[in-house]
Amino acid sequence: MSAGRRPTAFGVLAVAGGLAVAAATLYARDTRYPPPPVTERMLYMTSGSVASRIMLSFDSLAADVYWIRTIQHYGRDRKSGRRTGRFELLQPLLDLTTSLDPHFTTAYHFGAIFLAMAPPDGPGRADQAIALLEKGLRASPDRWLYAHGIGFVHYWHTGDFLAAAEWFERAARMPRAPSWIGPLAATTRAQGGNRAGARQILQDLLESREAYIRQAAERLRLQLQALDAIDELQRAVDEHEADTGRYPSAWIELVRAGALPGIPLDPTGVPFAYDPATHLVSLGRGSPLSPLPQGLTGR
């Protein structure tokens, strides 16, 4: 909730009293005339500008309510086994929340992370994440966190490392930007998808107070470990061919040759896959780390 926009104590009491009367009236009505069941997956308002006019001076309180609904929707769909319609209300809810309170930093920051997360952890909508953060910048042009967030989305989700570097550089020029963003921008521009830079980006998220953000960052960290392991395994496959004149047909050949201590497992315990036709190493079927980020080369 943004500073300076909270309603007066008298206004809150007046609304609370009105809500109490309304609740009693609705309870009496629903007891005698039960309403038909209503699906939870619906928006009560779809326009942020309309919602702001309706809420008048209580728009910050309404923004908090819609932010809670956003978190509930994201958490429920993340755990859901539904195949269609997952996260369908995420972007509209975030748009409502930030229209009601254009300076709701938490909604912009974490909302963009929710939107950009790849399935099954999110809708995989990097475009919507970037649009949300750009909306935040229009409301708060000097907020470095939003510019850094757009760079983060490009780095991890669009693979456009030049755009990521440009946004990191923009963030570094903003007031109160931390000193580490400048070197990060330089590294991204010089080396593209370097995993060392990726780990530096993740460090902030791994220390977040929000458990679900730490979990998302931890998954990305494990994906980096898997990429490192795939590189090592690919080298072992290629060295076997260089030493013997042929590629292995399965992992067991490398194990018997002493090149590997055992069947290689990814950080979640799922065996890595090896295709004897293409001689390429990849994540195994069913690995929760799939799909891996693209373009992140080198340690």
pLDDT of residue 29: 41
Written as one string, the DSSP assignment of the chain is --TT-PPPHHHHHHHHHHHHHHHHHHHHHHHHSPPPP--SS--S---HHHHHHHHGGGHHHHHHHHHHHHHHHHHHHHH---SSSTTTTHHHHHHHHHHH-TT-HHHHHHHHHHHHPPTTSS---HHHHHHHHHHHHHH-TT-HHHHHHHHHHIIIII--HHHHHHHHHHHHTSTT--TTHHHHHHHHHHHSSBHHHHHHHHHHHHT-S-HHHHHHHHHHHHHHHHHHHHHHHHHHHHHHHHHHSS--SSHHHHHHTTS-SSS-B-TTSPBPEEETTTTEEEPPTT-TTPSPPSS-B--
The domain tally of the chain equals 1
> What does each of the 299 residues of the chain score in pLDDT, given as a tens digit?
444 444 333 333 333 333 343 344 334 444 444 444 434 555 555 555 555 555 555 567 888 988 999 999 999 998 887 778 899 999 999 999 999 999 999 999 999 999 999 888 899 999 999 999 999 999 999 999 999 999 999 988 898 988 999 999 999 999 999 887 887 787 787 667 677 767 777 776 787 777 766 887 788 889 889 999 999 999 999 999 999 999 999 999 999 999 999 999 999 999 999 999 999 999 999 999 988 876 666 65
CATH number at residue 198: 1.25.40.10
pLDDT of residue 44: 53
Residue 115 lies in a domain: yes
Residue 109 lies in a domain: yes
Residue 263 lies in a domain: no
Residue 255 lies in a domain: no
Residue 94 lies in a domain: yes
Residue 195 lies in a domain: yes
Residue 59 lies in a domain: yes
> In which domain, by residue range, is 164 found?
45-212
Residue 22 lies in a domain: no
pLDDT of residue 179: 81
pTM value > 0.75: no
pLDDT of residue 181: 83
